[in-house]
Amino acid sequence: MGTVLEVRQLTTEFRSEQYTIRAVDGVSFRLERGRTLGIVGESGSGKSVTALSIMRLVPTPPGRIVEGEVLFHHRDGTVVDLLQLPERQMQRYRGNRIAMIFQEPMTSLNPVFRCGDQVMEALMLHRKLDRKQARQRTLELFAEVGLPEPELILERYPHQLSGGQKQRVMIAMAISCEPDILIADEPTTALDVTVQATILDLMRQLQRSHQMALIFISHDLGVIAEIADDVAVMYKGRIVEYGPLEHIFTDPQHPYTKGLLACRPRLDRKLRILPTVRDFMEELPDGTIRERLHISVHHYIDTLTLSESDLQQRRAALEQQPILLQVENLHVHFPVRRGLFGRVQGYVRAVDGVSFTIRCGETLGLVGESGSGKTTTGRALLRLIEPTDGRILFNGLDVRSLSGPELKALRRQMQIIFQDPYASLNPRLSIGSALMEVLRVHKLFSSDRERREYVFWLLHKVGLEPRHFWHYPHEFSGGQRQRIGIARALAVQPRFIVCDEPVSALDVSVQAQVLNLLVELRQEFGLTYLFITHDWSVVKFISDRIAVMHAGRIVEIGDAEALYANPQHEYTRRLIAAIPAATLEKLQQRRLHPLTPP
């Protein structure tokens, strides 16, 4: 159908007083009308900066586009270099001919304007519609992207919508001017698997109906496989592999691509540990990359796969262990207050009669969509949220009956790893000070010298270096901060840890490292986990059993392998059906038969 965009030797730098970072380093690719280019890589690889450079939205200073061409091909055959246009002319392309959906819709939508007004503004600016025409077109767009009750959504503010609804508003705004190119920057990263599936299906349908070219950016090759025709793999600002989706999946050439494909948890088998990018490649001091493993991804995964007899031995060993945690008919209700005097008008039943047990050394996965009650359940076990009713027995001790010193003593044995490690760390305390504080509170060790030596040991255990003792939270990457969260949970030598979405915000390569660390620590210290997540591939890898939670209740619970292979509840089947395709055959089948939004 012809080329619509051609990028040649695009180079973008960010400068500071100390150094210069080349975020995009000589990137070139071609985008055809009606096709989707997937750009994949870890955080910091240059994916988003490439998109911002195409749109000329790179913040200056400190960023600047050093060189290159971004050629936009009009249907009449004329070609324009977007990098050479004056800003006033560029505004006619930005949002009109080229639109962009950003990763976090809440930061992209103006919180003080209604959703409808924000879409209408784009129509009035680019399409010169009057307010009445813009309103009617916005209602049509909201219906097209599958928003329920468009008239109501039109009048609502962003904070009144769910994550999936906000993303649909962003999509409606992006397609409002019928652009030739739509750039989607991690549009499904923060969404549940079912919402993600419907958004991907929606984007496929819109692309077909509007004949758009699509650039889809993600760190997850599983998601890229759902939607892309061609794939560009980025590493440190460069495209290291480029080609049709099928070739990238079946015959990857670059060791980095092999690592990305391998480190995603598998659904078709159980692995001892997850492969990581480091298993496949090594970066030498001069910046060149050396391949470590000269075998295929599939062959390497075969060497890590657990046999059925291994799994049976694990199950038999756990059945011999005593029950560590017993939860009976747990309820957590939140009052809904209205009126001038804040009278209680009703209750939100966040957790509504949950019961389960966890044996010593076992990992129970708790999976479900946002709002299902997973996190509330985990926090109620530790009395971070007070339960409304029910029993929580930890090693035979009634948790709800404890208070004061007894509860503090119990907290040594029951810890939590939070979803957002940065929000749970004090930005004013160095990492060493934060970990030392935990030890002082629980009166562990007799002197600060002993505590300091123990903290150094902890940092080493979670894969950090002694120098990190004096660093502050903002100086660490997301994966490093999550390791700090794990170290803090381990500091008091607990028996049981609630892992609340500990890898949901991480790149798949970093996610693999953190999951491997949790498995290693479980084996070394005999830890017991309640692992909370919405990601099936993650929960299946790390869990012995899985409990599926929906609307405050556990609808199904069982052995991880058996439950995935033969789900009994309709909600479980719907969650599994929405998982991004893991095999080439499955993704080809899904393309022929798109998911119907649930």
Helix (H, G, I), strand (E, B) or coil at 83: helix
Would the pLDDT of 347 be above 90?
Answer: no
Residue 116: which of 146, 158, 164 has the closest Cα?
158
Q: Once rounded to an integer, what is the mean pLDDT over residues 118-137? A: 89
Percent of the chain with pLDDT over 90: 48
The contacts of residue 256 (CB under 8 Å, 6+ apart) are 233, 235, 240, 241, 277, 280, 281, 289
Helix (H/G/I), strand (E/B), else coil: 73: strand
pLDDT band at 595 (very low <50, low <70, confident <90, very high): very low
* Residue 254: both structure tokens together: 């670059």
Indicate the pLDDT class of residue 343, thresholds 50, 70 and 90. confident
370, pLDDT greater than 60: yes
Greater confidence (142 vs 595) lies with 142
A 10 A CB-CB count for 578 gives 21
pLDDT at 356: 97
The HSE-up count of residue 552 (CA atoms within 13 Å, CB side) is 14
Model pLDDT for residues 246-285, shown as the tens digit of each residue = 888 888 899 999 998 888 888 888 999 999 888 898 888 8
Among 542, 473, 28, 460, which Cα is nearest to 239's?
28
Q: What's the whole-number mean pLDDT along residues 418-446?
A: 88
**C-alpha–C-alpha distance, residues 45 and 542, integer Å:** 28
Q: What band does 588 get if pLDDT is binned at 50, 70 and 90? A: low
Going by the DSSP 8-state scheme, the letter that residue 597 receives in this structure is P
DSSP track, 228-278: -SEEEEEETTEEEEEEEHHHHHHS--SHHHHHHHHHSPPSSS-BSS---HH
Residue 596 pLDDT grade (very low, low, confident, very high; cuts 50, 70, 90)? very low
Average pLDDT value over all residues in the chain: 88
Between strands 213-218 and 36-40, the pairing is: parallel
Query: How much is the pLDDT for 555?
Result: 96
pLDDT tier, 105 (very low <50, low <70, confident <90, very high otherwise): low
Judged against a pLDDT cut of 50, whether residue 331 lies above it is answered with yes
- Please report, for the chain, the start and end positions of each structural domain, with discontinuous segments joined by +: 1-97+182-251, 104-178, 263-306, 313-336+345-566
Range from 113-122, 170-179, 306-315, 539-548 carrying the lowest mean pLDDT: 170-179
What's the confidence (pLDDT) of residue 190? 63
Band of residue 598 on the pLDDT scale cut at 50, 70, 90: very low
Q: Find the mean pLDDT for residues 450-460.
A: 93
- 61-75, 185-199, 483-497: least confidently modelled range: 185-199
Q: pLDDT by residue (tens digit) across 191-240?
A: 777 778 888 888 888 888 888 899 999 888 888 888 899 999 999 899 99
Is 534's pLDDT higher than 90? no
Gap between the Cα atoms of 130 and 5, Å rounded: 31
The per-residue pLDDT for 587 is: 58
Rg value, the chain, Cα? 26
For residue 580, pLDDT over 70 is answered with: yes
pLDDT of residue 168: 84
Banded pLDDT at 378 (limits 50, 70, 90): very high
How far apart are alpha carbons 540 and 544 in whole angstroms?
8
Residues 6+ apart with CB under 8 A from 418: 424, 485, 500, 502
Beta strands in 381-506 (DSSP E): 389-394, 397-398, 414-417, 496-500
Average pLDDT (111-125) is 89
Residue 430 has pLDDT above 70, yes or no: yes
Tell me, yes or no, if the two domains 1-97+182-251 and 313-336+345-566 fold the same way: yes
Which one has a higher pLDDT value, 420 or 230? 230
Q: In this model, does residue 586 exceed pLDDT 70?
A: no
Q: How far apart are CA 155 and CA 157, in angstroms?
A: 7
What class has domain 313-336+345-566?
Answer: alpha beta
- Band the pLDDT of 581: cuts 50, 70, 90: low
Report d(CA 444, CA 493) in Å as an integer: 10
CATH superfamily, domain 1-97+182-251, is: P-loop containing nucleotide triphosphate hydrolases (3.40.50.300)
Task: Provide the pLDDT for residue 549.
Answer: 95
Provide the token pair at 245: 């989706």
Q: Is the pLDDT score of 499 beyond 70?
A: yes
Question: For the whole model, what pTM was predicted?
Answer: 0.85
